[in-house]
Amino acid sequence: MAFMEKLMGKREELDIEDFLNNLDTEEENPYEDAEAFVKPVNLQSEHDRDTVIEEAKKGNILLVNIADLSKRNAIKLRELVSGIRAGIEDIDGDIARISQERLIVTPSKVKIIKRKEDQ
């Protein structure tokens, strides 16, 4: 009996895992009544930098993946992030690093609370 319970319990775990893994694969259907979206962007080029700024101007929040560029070209990463920062400051938005691989960029009227660690 315990063997069957383990199998049945395992089945439920797999169903939950399948469900969680497929959350973002549902059909993309932007909500018409949404005022803003949270969008992921991979930062690779000037085009991506411009996309981040334009999306923020539209009122969207961006999660910017900088992992690939930080490994390949730190100078270009600094240049692109500086460009994003300047463009976001022009619209009174905000930018912050949320992990080693990601930045968050917000539009105007959305500010990021940045905590400085005590030394």
- Residue 37: φ, ψ to 5°: -125, 155
pLDDT at 32 > cutoff 60 = yes
Q: What is the mean pLDDT of the chain?
A: 84
CATH assignment of 36-111, given 3.40.50.970, 3.30.110.150, 3.20.20.70, 3.30.40.10?
A: 3.30.110.150
- Give the side-chain half-sphere CA count within 13 A for 108: 8
In what helix (H) or strand (E) does residue 53 lie, and over which residues does it extend? helix 46-57
pTM passes above 0.85: no
Query: What is d(CA 25, CA 29) in angstroms, rounded to the nearest whole number?
Result: 11
| Strands in 1-119 per DSSP E | 38-42, 61-65, 94-97, 102-106
Q: What percent of the chain has pLDDT over 70?
A: 77
